[in-house]
Chains A and B, each alone.
Chain A
């Protein structure tokens, strides 16, 4: 693996051309994806009275929109709620997904096909909003964080991705462990888990992003505003700051209205964005490096 990457073959003109073309395309894609993001950040630091543009010199940046949003009394509480929902959601989802995916990946599980089929069925046919609401209500989970943690605890797509990963682990490893007298749980915990770090972190991140961005479920299941996560509160704050038609106090904003909107976008995406680089290496790392001498 290492050798092929670093070995220096004499490069032909075609090679160079090909590399240049690939790099050019990738650079183009990078620019296309970056521009909207840069624009969002630029608008969020646009001071009142300026026309927002893609290239605003840093000397003119104003963080008043951020200050204004962070000053709102409901913000801290909402941030905490988001953390609770995300951390809790990831924990519950991962435990349940691993404990479902692993047995399903074992070829000797009786009724494996039927169980997989039933799970797949829920992926293809969705009951819709109202049955979901009824279930949550009848479980007594209205105004409880469990409504979010349990609803959608398993994403069928993530489950099958994980199952396929487990299926590709060599059986010989487990056989070796079994001969040494390990129980099923010990095998899962000591052998399978350490080898599955990349997939666990990847799926974990998927779950985290889904929980973090969950907007409508809290609105549906919570009537207590104290429980609302960041996206909901930010939307309400923006609605309030932008509708002065019924206002009568000088509660109006002193920031650029568009800057406020974009600052809200940045504030909600930032935490997830910060996690990415930290997990990045597991996305690209090879899945198995040795383990058994065949």
Chain B
């Protein structure tokens, strides 16, 4: 009975609740902390938004990945899209735009001057979401990128009397020593020089074609990091066609031949890599600051005297180096046309402006002051006594966070080992990992996927794996046949398309 009553009242509520209240906005974002629950109905942010801005905020979470895309698709078909929502899949963004589901955001941009100046005034980024001269989305700058780098076990270097490598040749020498000279002193040959896996995750960096994020620095040393070379005119081409691309691949082959990598590297996942560096199996490994921070306690417990730090990406024969390529564009938010038609534009702008800085920023990005974070010399510093509650509290943080230095300082403060040694992660990250050149390739996001994008990526990736594992000898004949095979997957069309889009959008001359 109660159920039935509930059902009837629910139906009534559903039909009347959104009776065009201009100050009621529905926001739907992918959970910032998927392992934590959603904010409760009594979340004091709701009250704060109501008191300060006069807005009735309702927030719901979108599942990550394909399920989230499907959900957005169904909502769109039912003309039920939330007022403000996040899209992580660019092709879905353009599909919704074609269907007329998205609102042009110019009118909203002018109502939130501070946020627009800080986040939406970069031409390079707005071009990514501009269709027929109209800006159709809120393309935030990336708030955490280039957060990866090569980490090295300083204690192993000291023990073996070695210096951190600065060139590829030195890198190989150090890696060999870490593999063969028992740096952990346990009498077993169970360590490896370098830990990396084939990973195409795009958490703030672009993996390019081939072996993914963890090996981009090798290609960077030969000046061919990333998918395209961004040279103007007829010189524009995919890096994979550059002779240097083969040289970089040959270097990785050398690493495999020298057995300085985990024999499982080609089939391992990122989580396996994390498990193993935490166990102290690797002398050098590719990792993000977040991954390092999250795994540090475990690592410290397994290796009580260990010391890790970031090193600059090693230089190639031509003196070039790069850790990888990245895009300056981060999260993408959109406003539904329905919301704009119902006159909710000003309320959305007001809320976003509030989330951009000051009180709103602190509330969404850091949580409750004194409970989830404290201000230490003006830097919001996370208190770690209740990560799950903080996670629940900051599920909307990607609307607020901006990646400025204060924020990074707060997020990546010093870590202390069990025996009291302090490692200043933030400064290391900023002075080393970020200094190590990263190549801005924001334009890559403007290039539409080829119809058979997956085939192209798989073809290049599988060929490279065969070459570096020695399943296919790396000789002229085989390399030529690999390059010829690119035609078979329609690569030339993809390349021409990329070139014309990049020229049109002004990313190349």
Binding site for B on A (CB under 8 A): 48-49, 72-74, 77, 129-130, 133-134, 137, 139-144, 146, 216, 219-220, 223-226, 232, 235-237, 239-252, 254, 256-258
Do residues B279 and A49 form an inter-chain contact, with CB atoms below 8 A?
Answer: yes
Contacts of B411 in A (CB 8 A): 248
Report Cα–Cα, A143/B17, bound state, in Å: 14
Among B463-481, those with CB < 8 Å from A are: none
Give every chain A residue within 8 A of B302 (Cβ-Cβ): 49
Partner of A248, one of B28, B36, B382: B382
Tally B residues with Cβ within 8 Å of A.
60
- A158–chain B nearest beta-carbon distance, Å: 24
Across the A-B interface, the 5 shortest Cβ-Cβ residue pairs = A240-B35, A140-B11, A252-B294, A225-B38, A257-B271
Instruction: Please determine whether B6 and A144 come into contact, CB atoms closer than 8 angstroms.
Output: yes
- Candidates B31, B70, B147, B274; contact of A216 at CB < 8 Å: B70
Q: A248-B293, A250-B297 are in contact. Are A236 and B70 (CB under 8 A)?
A: no
B96 to chain A, nearest CB (A): 14
Please give, as numbers and ranges, the residues of chain A lying within 8 Å of B417 by CB-CB distance.
none
Inter-subunit contact A219/B67 (CB<8 Å): yes
Q: Would A236 and B63 be within 8 Å (CB), given that A72-B35, A130-B78 are in contact?
A: yes
| Cβ contacts under 8 Å, B3 to chain A | 146
Is there a chain A Cβ closer than 8 Å to B390's Cβ? Answer: yes
Q: How far is the CA of A224 from the CA of B412 in the complex (A)?
A: 32
Candidates B28, B74, B391; contact of A133 at CB < 8 Å: B74
Contact B384 A249 (CB under 8 A): yes
18 pairs, A vs B, C-beta closer than 8 Å: A49-B279, A73-B37, A130-B77, A140-B10, A140-B12, A220-B70, A220-B74, A236-B63, A239-B35, A240-B31, A244-B274, A245-B203, A247-B293, A248-B293, A248-B382, A249-B294, A250-B387, A251-B35
User: Which of A129, A249, A252 has the most C-beta atoms of chain B within 10 angstroms of its own C-beta?
Assistant: A249
How long is the Cα–Cα vector from A239 to B272 in the complex, in angstroms? 15
CA–CA, A48 to B290, complex, Å? Answer: 20
CB pair B295–A236 under 8 Å, yes or no, is: no
Q: How far is the CA of A254 from the CA of B32 in the complex (A)?
A: 21
Query: Which residue of A has the minimal Cβ distance to B407?
Result: A248
Is B291's CB under 8 angstroms from A245's CB?
yes
Known contacts A240-B33, A240-B35, A220 near B7 by CB under 8 Å: no
Residues of A within 8 A of B73 (CB): 130
Identify A48's interface contact among B67, B147, B298, B384, CB under 8 A.
Answer: B298
Bound CA–CA A137/B412 (angstroms): 44
Given that A140-B10, A143-B10, A257-B272 are known contacts, is A249 also in contact with B37, CB under 8 Å in the complex? no
Complex alpha-carbon distance, A49 and B203, angstroms: 26
Which A-chain residue is minimally distant from B205 (CB atoms)? A245
Q: List 12 additional A-B contacts (Cβ < 8 Å) besides A133-B75, A220-B74, A225-B37.
A: A49-B275, A130-B78, A133-B74, A140-B14, A216-B67, A226-B38, A245-B203, A246-B32, A251-B35, A252-B294, A252-B298, A257-B271
Cross-chain contact of A146 among B7, B201, B272, B388 (Cβ < 8 A): B7
Given contacts A133-B74, A226-B38, contact A252 B61 (CB under 8 A): no
B71 proximity list for chain A (CB < 8 A): 219-220
Chain A residues within an 8 Å CB radius of B7: 140-141, 144, 146
Residue of B nearest to A260 (CB): B271
B113 at the interface (CB under 8 A from A): no
Docked pose: A49 CA to B301 CA in angstroms: 12
**Cα–Cα distance between A141 and B4 once the two chains are bound (Å):** 11
B390 — which chain A residues lie within 8 A by C-beta? Answer: 249
B428-449 toward A: CB 8 Å interface, digit per residue (1/0)? 0000000000000000000000
Please state if B77 and A248 are interface contacts (CB–CB under 8 Å).
Answer: no
Asked whether B60 is an interface residue with its Cβ less than 8 Å from the other chain, the reply is: yes
How far, in whole Å, are A248 and B271 apart by their CA atoms in the complex?
17
Indicate if the CB atoms of B14 and A142 lie closer than 8 Å.
yes
Which residues of the partner chain B approach A134 to less than 8 Å between Cβ atoms?
77-78
Q: Does B144 contact A (CB under 8 A)?
A: yes
CA distance A257 to B75 in the complex (A): 34
Complex-state Cα separation, A224 to B62, whole angstroms: 10
Assess whether A251 is in contact with B294, with CB atoms less than 8 Å apart.
Answer: yes
Residue of A74, A137, A142, A245 near B37 (CB, 8 A) is: A74
Choice from B28, B34, B294 contacting A250 with Cβ under 8 Å: B294
The residue from B204, B384, B388 contacting A72, defined by CB atoms under 8 A apart: B388
B11 in complex: contacting residue of A139, A237, A242, A252, CB < 8 Å: A139
Q: Is there an interface contact between A246 and B297, defined as CB atoms closer than 8 Å?
A: no
Known: A220-B74, A240-B35, A245-B203. A252 touches B295 (CB 8 A): yes
CB distance from A45 to the nearest CB of B (A): 16
Minimal Cβ-Cβ distance residue in A for B289 = A248
How far, in Å, is B310 (CB) from chain A's closest CB? 15
Query: Are A133 and B67 touching (Cβ within 8 A)?
Result: no
CA distance A245 to B291 in the complex (A): 5
Q: Of A142, A146, A236, A257, which contacts B274 at CB under 8 A?
A: A257
Would you call B288 an interface residue if the criterion is a C-beta within 8 Å of the partner chain's C-beta atoms? yes
Known: A129-B70, A140-B11. Is A250-B296 also a contact (CB below 8 A)?
Answer: yes
**Chain A residue with minimal CB distance to B61?**
A225
Q: Are B294 and A244 in contact (CB under 8 A)?
A: yes
CA distance A239 to B33 in the complex (A): 9
1/0 per position for B212-249, CB-CB distance to A under 8 A?
Answer: 00000000000000000000000000000000000000
CA–CA, A252 and B278, complex, Å: 12
Chain A CB within 8 A of B158 CB:
no
| Residues in A whose Cβ lies below 8 Å from that of B319 | none
Which residue of chain B lies nearest to A74 when distances are taken between CB atoms in the complex?
B37
| B257 at the binding interface (Cβ < 8 Å) | no
| Residue numbers in A under 8 Å from B75 (CB-CB) | 133
Within 252-272 of B, Cβ neighbours of A (below 8 Å) are at: 270-272
User: Provided the pairs A140-B10, A257-B275 are in contact, do residues A245 and B201 lie with their beta carbons within 8 angstroms?
Assistant: yes
A178–B294 alpha-carbon span in the complex (Å):
73
Is B15 at the interface (CB under 8 A from chain A)? yes
Contacts of A246 in B (CB 8 A): 32, 144, 203, 290
Nearest-neighbour CB distance to chain B for A216, whole angstroms, equals 7
Q: Tell me if B80 is interfacial: C-beta within 8 Å of chain A.
A: yes
Chain A residues whose C-beta falls within 8 Å of the C-beta of B63 in the assembled complex: 219, 232, 235-236
